[in-house]
Structure 1
Amino acid sequence: MTHHRITSFEAGRIIALLGVIAIHSQLFMTVPLINGEPWLGLLINQLSRFAVPLFFILAGYFIAPKLSALPAGTMKQYSLPLLKVWLVWSAIYFLVPFNLQLAWEAGYLAERSGYWQYLLSQPLNTLFEGSLVHLWYIPGLICGLLIMAICCHVKKQSLIMPVAIALYLFGLTAGSYEPLTGIESPLFTRNGPFMSMLMLTIGFMTKQKGWQISVGKATALAIAGMGLHLAEAVYLTSYDIPFNMHDFLIGTPFWAAGLFFILMSHPQFGQSLVKFNISKQVLGIYLIHLLIIIYLMRLLPLLGLTGYANDILRFVLTCIISYGLVALIGKTPLRSVLLR
């Protein structure tokens, strides 16, 4: 599905992708240590949590007109290519060994069997996630859009926001706040529609209702949301919940929405980023980057790289190699199989 390119939104997607890579590459999670804890890395981890929510908001914004007018047809047109690449990459990550040294020394099955047992031990999450953790984004996106499409189909668009808020609140109470509420979910609530639908709905409603706020108010909203998110993460450490484990908290939708409205207010922001056409490769880079990180985490220490050099190189090389591989795939017949 194509959409009119807005420079700031394209730049926002690139920045969000860098945030995702920073999280997964565990940037500065070994050094520096402050009182024995990698607080810089932990802070970067949570400061990057705007990324996936922003992806969802942008997706909801651009799909809104077609989803509202032709919900069934739009859902099919949008979701089938995504499901295809999700299945293909799930198969790749299911089959490709992560520890090449172990596979060489002990054999392919010895390397893979433990991981396969792990996936089978949590079948519901694997169903809504895929064979590697970051692939949850695609089922989450499709699940959220499916509920929205049903609401549009039955002419009940007024239900979209209440349903999204209800799902999000359940996701919080059975997720990050589960130690306080005692509410449990058989499905990890980051997966599925629990978190994604509210973010999609923010973008959807912004497009449908023409919501706009001034850049000053958008900035205040983003800062307040980010501050609340971080304050929640600090508070939850008192319940023995690691500071860096949170994907979504109460403040996260406000934070991501504020950033979205800032980008909307500055449509020409990021021209220097967008001119390289990196934004066209964002999904492909997202799909492949974690495998690159897995290999670099084993390779760089073998080359004697530790500390700052390891952390920074892991992040930089992941960005470069992932982009290069996706650009290369785009020039081969494999692009129709591996990329949307």
Structure 2
Amino acid sequence: MSKTGSLDSFRLIAAFLVIANHTSPLLSYGENGDFILTRIIARVAVPFFLMVSGYFLYKYIENGDKAYILSFCKKIAILYALSIFLYLPLNLYAGHYEAANWGQELIKDIIFDGTFYHLWYFPGLILGVMIVAFLVRKIGLKFTFFISLILYIIGLFGDSYYGVTETLSSLETFYDVVFTLSDYTRNGVFMVPIFLMLGMLIYKGNHVIPLQRNLLFFIISFSLLILEGLLLHAFELQRHDSMYIMLVPAMYFLFRSLLQIRGKSSKGLRTISTIMYIIHPWIIVLVRSAAEIFKLENWFVDNSLLHFAAVSFFTFAAARLATIVWKREKNANPPPTGRAWVEIDLQALRENARQLIRILPEKTKLMAVVKANAYGHGSVKIAKELSQTGINSFAVATLAEAIELRSNGIKGDILILGYTPAQSIRIIKKYNFTQTVIGLEHAKELNRQAVPINIQIKIDTGMHRLGTDASGLADLKEIYQCKHLTITGVFSHLAVSDSLDPDDIAFTNRQIDRYNQTIQWLESQHLPVGHQHIQASYGILNYPHLQYDYARAGITLYGVLSQNDRVNTNVELKPVLSIKARVAMVKSLHTGEELGYGRSFTAASTMKTAVITIGYADGIPRNMANGHVLIRSQKAPIIGRICMDQLLVDVSGIEGVQADDIATLIGKDGSQQITAEDVSESCGTITNELLSRLGERLGYVYKI
């Protein structure tokens, strides 16, 4: 299960529930109703946040990625430290540290509980993650779950079932010691692990329960949760009310339901909900203070519902404002469309992915090739967009490209297609990449590092570039004996799958046969093959019938062919990328006047020229000088030599051209279109080279 469903949307709901828990919205209208809302229903918020953490952390815990886990805990610790200082003034104002033992209280607050009641969550989360990460690696997921369940049961008798504990003096003494040590962060031991584990089990689980059944089970378990809470309240058994028996199944089915309800991943909502959780007590104080100053206590303090509404509104507004200011400061750069830029049509990208999946066999998945900055399209943004469509396998050429993806939140499998030296193996392990092994010696070098990593074996079936020769069976078998390398796939690459020439088709079929024979031999030796894939873009278009686990879609994913080629399949791909620039100025050139470097162009008659703000440093080939651009839906021929930063065009036949007009070098303008295939052929190259060489200083605009 890789989709995030509506988790991010529910984060916001959970943040409002936390505010409700601390403002008692229904208290003015009835204690029972408010108890149900704040002491039972709102109790889903914190477990939900914990389950989200468990859901996304599991992969790194399972793979023993200590660096990532420590990095996660470090981020939480920094957030905790900032929150402590945020609330110190409030505690000092309230006289919290005026007692004789104020030093002890301060240390206890900083280490265990935070300087305000809700901040226990951060040290509790760190403690819980450390416990779970250690146990999962030592005893596995199932046993860790049972231990977490036992810890939760122990915690219950210090929380909602404390009335039972009071009847047993030995147990009461035990819990009194726990409460003395930590008012709230004990939850890091007794509460946090179970909900982290629920998130992990859901991530790990393959069993799909229909949404309607999940919702039904949630309604039943949630109803029983409310009943449990009311009974405990009626019998006055609760010391606290954050832990219930039925909270565990209710959260399990709620989380599964949210994953199945369509939603969009939103970093903004994640940030806003976190800020709301942190700052809402300050907003409560400010709302109360403002109500007192303006004599509005009857409205915004005494009326609990209006008080909740005011606190919620201003908390959300403050969090939203903070994200806007932060984003503005972070992105204090010139507008992307100020000079020269690339426009990316994400809808076309999604449609191309659907078209390619449509022509492949049902069980063959698409692996998105996002090397070379996703062929100039922006690797991180493209990978994130494809992740939302259900594609969770990516291929890159280099270790640096893989790190960029992972560092920007790409969670899927990332296969490094090219060579990576053995001294970088710890980086491969840290980020949980899959490394291509290009031959026996490469495998031995990696294995000698004694660092366990996932690999895929490249088979050379006739391209004679990277890979172990398909006939080198002894070498292949020896790679399997490298005990530190876990083989997750065996793949090859087709040399002329783009050609429909009979000789090239025969060569491609021989490559496919050699690959299949190698796979059959490995299976006959009882050696695990893992994922199989041989098709790249043209392999998909010209040999779509091949039954392998994956097909690697590169240039075709972006709606482009390498050249204006014929292919066997009837697939309508839409260009994803356009290149545009601004007109800097318009000049008159008189008869006989020369233009540009080398005086390479001479005006045959009086004409108008326009300077376009893009050049070969932006990736425009210098030999595109015989081409044209589109301005105001008309063709403007390129004249003179293309410069590093600019090029010049003839706009004599186009009325009204002026500074700041848009020139299109690749893409559509009205009824006119310039394709990447047209440009690359005119320059004597292929689209792969043209697009992958686009310059870093181009701005990027993504159209949803």
Q: TM tier, shorter chain?
A: 0.7 to 0.9
Alignment of 1:45-56 (within 5 A): 45=38, 46-56=40-50
Amino acid at match of 2:241: H
**Contact kept in structure 1, 2:51 and 2:195, CA below 8 Å:** yes
User: Is residue 97 of structure 1 aligned with residue 90 of structure 2?
Assistant: yes
**Contact kept in structure 2, 1:292 and 1:322, CA below 8 Å:** no
Q: How far did 1:119 drift? A: 8.8
Residue of 286, 300, 319 corresponding to 1:322: 319
Q: How far did 1:40 drift? A: 3.0
**Contact kept in structure 2, 1:56 and 1:141, CA below 8 Å:** yes
With normalisation by structure 1, the TM-score equals: 0.80
Q: How far did 1:166 drift? A: 0.7
Cα distance in structure 2, aligned partners of 1:126 and 1:277 = 29
**Contact kept in structure 1, 2:163 and 2:238, CA below 8 Å:** no
**Mean alpha-carbon deviation: is it higher for 146-155 or for 324-333?**
324-333
| Structure 2 SS opposite 1:166 | helix
Change (3 A) 1:206 1:129: same
| Structure 2 SS opposite 1:207 | helix
Residue of structure 2 equivalent to 1:162: 146
Residue of structure 2 equivalent to 1:213: 209
Runs of 4+ in 1 over 4 A off after TM superposition: 108-112, 114-126, 329-333
Residue of 58, 78, 81 corresponding to 2:75: 81
Residue of structure 2 equivalent to 1:19: 17
User: Is residue 277 of structure 1 aligned with residue 261 of structure 2?
Assistant: no
Alignment of 1:292-311 (within 5 A): 292-303=283-294, 304-305=296-297, 306=299, 307=303, 308-311=305-308
Residue of structure 2 equivalent to 1:101: none
Cα distance in structure 2, aligned partners of 1:67 and 1:141 = 15
Residue of structure 1 equivalent to 2:244: 249
Residue of structure 2 equivalent to 1:338: none
Change (3 A) 1:204 1:115: farther
**Contact kept in structure 2, 1:285 and 1:326, CA below 8 Å:** no
Residue of structure 1 equivalent to 2:117: 133
Alignment of 1:188-207 (within 5 A): 188=183, 191-207=187-203
Cα distance in structure 1, aligned partners of 2:268 and 2:81 = 26
Root-mean-square deviation (CA, aligned residues, Å) is: 3.0
**Mean alpha-carbon deviation: is it higher for 119-128 or for 314-323?**
119-128
Cα distance in structure 2, aligned partners of 1:59 and 1:211 = 21
**Mean alpha-carbon deviation: is it higher for 83-92 or for 112-121?**
112-121
Amino acid at match of 1:164: S
Cα distance in structure 2, aligned partners of 1:221 and 1:247 = 21
**Contact kept in structure 1, 2:161 and 2:237, CA below 8 Å:** no
| Structure 1 SS opposite 2:43 | coil
Cα distance in structure 2, aligned partners of 1:116 and 1:230 = 43
| Structure 2 SS opposite 1:50 | helix
Deviations 1:263-302 (A, max 9, x none): 1222x24x5xx67932333222221222112221332244
User: Is residue 147 of structure 1 aligned with residue 131 of structure 2?
Assistant: yes
Q: How far did 1:71 drift? A: 4.2
**Contact kept in structure 2, 1:145 and 1:200, CA below 8 Å:** yes
Amino acid at match of 1:288: I
Residue of structure 1 equivalent to 2:157: 173
Residue identity over aligned pairs, in percent, reads: 20
Amino acid at match of 1:152: V
Cα distance in structure 1, aligned partners of 2:242 and 2:140 = 30
Cα distance in structure 1, aligned partners of 2:34 and 2:102 = 27
**Mean alpha-carbon deviation: is it higher for 283-292 or for 58-67?**
283-292
Structure showing greater radius of gyration is 2
Cα distance in structure 2, aligned partners of 1:130 and 1:73 = 26
Amino acid at match of 1:41: D
**Contact kept in structure 2, 1:61 and 1:206, CA below 8 Å:** yes
Residue of structure 2 equivalent to 1:32: 29
Residue of structure 1 equivalent to 2:514: none
| Structure 2 SS opposite 1:134 | helix
Cα distance in structure 1, aligned partners of 2:145 and 2:267 = 36
Amino acid at match of 1:137: Y
| Structure 1 SS opposite 2:6 | helix
Q: How far did 1:141 drift? A: 1.6
Cα distance in structure 2, aligned partners of 1:119 and 1:9 = 41
Cα distance in structure 1, aligned partners of 2:44 and 2:309 = 21
Q: How far did 1:332 drift? A: 5.2
**Contact kept in structure 2, 1:174 and 1:181, CA below 8 Å:** yes
| Structure 1 SS opposite 2:26 | coil
**Contact kept in structure 2, 1:64 and 1:207, CA below 8 Å:** yes
Residue of structure 2 equivalent to 1:70: 64
**Contact kept in structure 2, 1:26 and 1:41, CA below 8 Å:** yes
User: Is residue 286 of structure 1 aligned with residue 281 of structure 2?
Assistant: no
Residue of structure 2 equivalent to 1:102: none
Change (3 A) 1:55 1:110: closer
**Contact kept in structure 1, 2:14 and 2:48, CA below 8 Å:** yes
Change (3 A) 1:329 1:214: same
| Structure 2 SS opposite 1:97 | helix
| Structure 1 SS opposite 2:187 | coil
**Mean alpha-carbon deviation: is it higher for 39-48 or for 133-142?**
39-48
With normalisation by structure 2, the TM-score equals: 0.41
- Structure with greater proportional helix content: 1
Cα distance in structure 1, aligned partners of 2:42 and 2:14 = 8
Cα distance in structure 1, aligned partners of 2:4 and 2:271 = 13
Change (3 A) 1:69 1:55: same
- 5+ unaligned residues in a row in structure 2: which ranges? 331-704
User: Is residue 43 of structure 1 aligned with residue 40 of structure 2?
Assistant: no
Q: How far did 1:256 drift? A: 1.2
Deviations 1:26-53 (A, max 9, x none): 2232x224xxxx3332222122211111
Cα distance in structure 1, aligned partners of 2:191 and 2:52 = 15
